[in-house]
Amino acid sequence: MYELFVLGELMTGEKHGYMLQEILKNAAGPGRHISSGTLYPLLSRLVESGLIHLRHEEESEGGRLRKVYALTETGRERFQRLMEQPLDYNADTERLVHFKMVYFQYVAKEVRLDCLEQYLHYLQTTRRYVLNFESQLLAQKPSPEKQRIQLLRVFDHRKHVGAADIEWVTKEIARIQEEE
């Protein structure tokens, strides 16, 4: 997922490592931070594999060298493949879709639609799971009662959030389908 982010950000132009880290910190949200110990080894691997290019630029203050990263043609191709890659359904699916959506302007309409349709399927599958589990709880009435009632409240919340997500994605698919 972070590889997609780095390559996607470099689609917009070259950036230094600190800037990439700050953008990712904001993009990932308040509860998820990428450390320097994760980002810089990733950047090194991307340079070694020829996906990005590294050049050194002298800073105006202090004379330190700043590492500036740019995308190579091989990196552009890899970015396209990552954007086309089917979604895995796991705990990071939603975050990955959000990252992909940020870079939709760099891929074909069909790739955007495939991604959103896969995400819609994921949302619908998750909603069916919640509805099935909820119906089991209502039918079997396991103990303790207070915990069962609270679990039903959690499922009610998940149903409402899921319905809103499904509605938004459905509208977004229709909007993209209408594009020329």
Q: pLDDT (tens digit, 9 = 90+) per residue, 5-46?
A: 999 999 999 998 888 888 887 776 666 677 788 889 999 999
Give the model's pLDDT for residue 107: 97
Reply yes or no on whether the pLDDT at 160 is more than 90.
Answer: yes
In this predicted model, what pLDDT tens digit does every residue of 89-120 receive, in sequence order? 998 899 899 999 999 999 999 999 999 999 99
Give the model's pLDDT for residue 22: 85
Contact indicator for 166, 127 with CB cutoff of 8 Å: yes
71: Cβ contacts below 8 Å, ≥ 6 apart: 7, 10, 11, 14, 51, 52, 53, 79
Give the model's pLDDT for residue 29: 66
Q: What is the pTM of this model?
A: 0.87
Question: Is beta strand 15-16 parallel, antiparallel or unpaired with respect to 65-71?
Answer: antiparallel
Residue 116 CA to residue 57 CA, distance in Å, equals 39
pLDDT band for position 50 (cuts 50, 70, 90): very high
In this predicted model, what pLDDT tens digit does every residue of 121-153 receive, in sequence order? 999 999 999 999 999 888 888 788 888 899 999
Average of per-residue pLDDT across 53-62: 80
Contact indicator for 100, 130 with CB cutoff of 8 Å: no
User: Hey, what long-range contacts does 133-142 have (CB within 8 A, 24 or more apart)?
Assistant: 134/159
